[in-house]
Structure 1
Amino acid sequence: MAPDPADPVRHWPLAGLVLRTPRLVLRPDDDVGLAALADRALDGVHPAEEMPFLEPWTDGAGTPGFARGVMQYAWRCRAEVGPARWSVNFLVREGGRVLGMQTLAATEFGILREVTTGSWLTRAAQGRGLGTEMRQAVIGLAFERLGAHFARTSAFADNVASRRVSDRLGYTPDGVERHVRRGRPALLLRSRLTPEAWRRPEWTLGVAGLGPCRELLGVPPPD
Structure 2
Amino acid sequence: MLIDHWPLLGLRVRTARLELRLPTEDELAELAEVAAHGVHEPGKRRFLVSWAEGTPAERARSVVQNQWRRRGEWTPQSWSLDLAVFVEGRPVGVQDVWARDFAVRREVATGSWLGLAYHGRGIGTEMRAAVLHLAFAGLGAAHATSGSFVDNAAPLAVSRKLGYQPDGISRDLCDGEVLVSQYLRLTRENWERTDRPEVSLTGLEPCLELFGAR
After the TM superposition, which segments of 4 or more aligned residues of structure 1 sit over 4 Å from their partners? Answer: none
Q: How far apart are the structure 2 equivalents of 1:69 and 1:143?
A: 29
Which residue in the other structure is 1:106 paired with? Answer: 99
TM value normalised by structure 2: 0.95
1:167-202 CA-partner distances (Å, limit 9, x unpaired): 001111111110124432121111100111125445
Secondary structure, aligned partner of 2:96: strand
Alignment-derived partner of residue 13 in structure 1: 7
Q: Distance in 2 between matches of 1:65 and 1:191?
A: 30
Describe how 1:56-205 pairs up with structure 2 within 5 A.
Answer: 56-62=50-56, 64-198=57-191, 199-205=193-199
Gaps in structure 2 of 5+ consecutive residues? none
Q: Which runs of 5+ in 1 are unaligned?
A: 1-6
RMSD: 1.3
Asked if structure 2 preserves the Cα contact closer than 8 Å seen for 1:136 and 1:201, the reply is: no
Q: Is the 8 A contact 1:149 1:195 kept in 2?
A: yes
Q: Deviations over 1:65-122 (max 9, x none)?
A: 5422320111101111121110000000000110000001011110100000000001
CA distance in 2, matches of 1:208, 1:200: 23
* Contact 2:162-2:196 within 8 A present in 1 as well: no
Higher mean displacement: 195-204 or 31-40: 195-204
2:40 to 33, 40, 46: 46
Q: How many residues are paired up? A: 213
Residues 39, 141 of structure 1: alpha-carbon distance in 2 compared, 3 angstrom cutoff = same
Check conservation: 1:137, 1:205, Cα contact below 8 A.
yes
Identity of aligned residues (%): 45
Structure 2 distance, partners of 1:91, 1:136, is 14
Query: Which structure dedicates a bigger proportion of its chain to helix?
Result: 2
TM-superposed CA distance for 1:145, in Å, is: 1.3
Which is greater in Rg?
1
